[in-house]
């Protein structure tokens, strides 16, 4: 992200996130460039989760997982801590309990 946080650009990129490792890793790196903007990044992510179809929501959860894992490795606590509440709020938008359990055990 450039000097100025661009919510509209982030939202557009989240809507077009592909179900590929390359796409998710690239988007994860993009999100983490927003140091100091974790709350805004997470808020936009949650907004997109609420709007998207189920298959795209899954991609967004994969992205959250990747961001959390990278943030842990890089010790970027604002991203690790920031996802806790967002994931709780996003859980009802995941289609099945099995998906929720899978995500819940994989993170935090």
Q: What secondary structure does DSSP assign to 22-85, as a single string?
A: HHHHHHHHHHHT-TT-HHHHHHHHHHHHHHS-HHHHHHHHHHHHHHHHHHHHTT-HHHHHHHHH
The pLDDT-based confidence of 53 (bands split at 50, 70, 90) is confident
DSSP 93: G
The pLDDT-based confidence of 1 (bands split at 50, 70, 90) is very low
Hey, CA dihedral for 56, 71, 99, 85, is it positive or negative? negative
> pLDDT value at position 18?
94
Q: What is the CATH number of the domain that holds 38?
A: 1.25.40.90
72 or 94, which is more confident:
72
DSSP 36: T
| 1 within domain boundaries | no
| 2 within domain boundaries | no
Task: Give the pLDDT confidence of 10-29 residue by residue, as tens digits.
Answer: 999 999 999 999 999 999 99
| 63 within domain boundaries | yes
101: containing domain: 7-106
């Amino acid at each position: 992200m450039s000097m100025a946080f661009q919510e509209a650009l982030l939202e557009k990129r989240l809507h077009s996130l592909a179900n590929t490792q390359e796409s998710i890793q690239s988007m994860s790196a993009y999100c983490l460039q927003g140091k100091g903007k974790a709350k805004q990044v997470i808020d936009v992510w949650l907004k997109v989760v609420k709007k998207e179809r189920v298959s795209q929501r899954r991609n967004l959860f994969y992205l959250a997982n990747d961001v959390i894992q990278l943030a842990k490795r890089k010790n970027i606590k604002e991203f690790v801590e920031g996802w806790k509440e967002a994931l709780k709020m996003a859980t009802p938008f995941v289609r099945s309990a099995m998906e929720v359990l899978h995500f819940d055990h994989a993170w935090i």
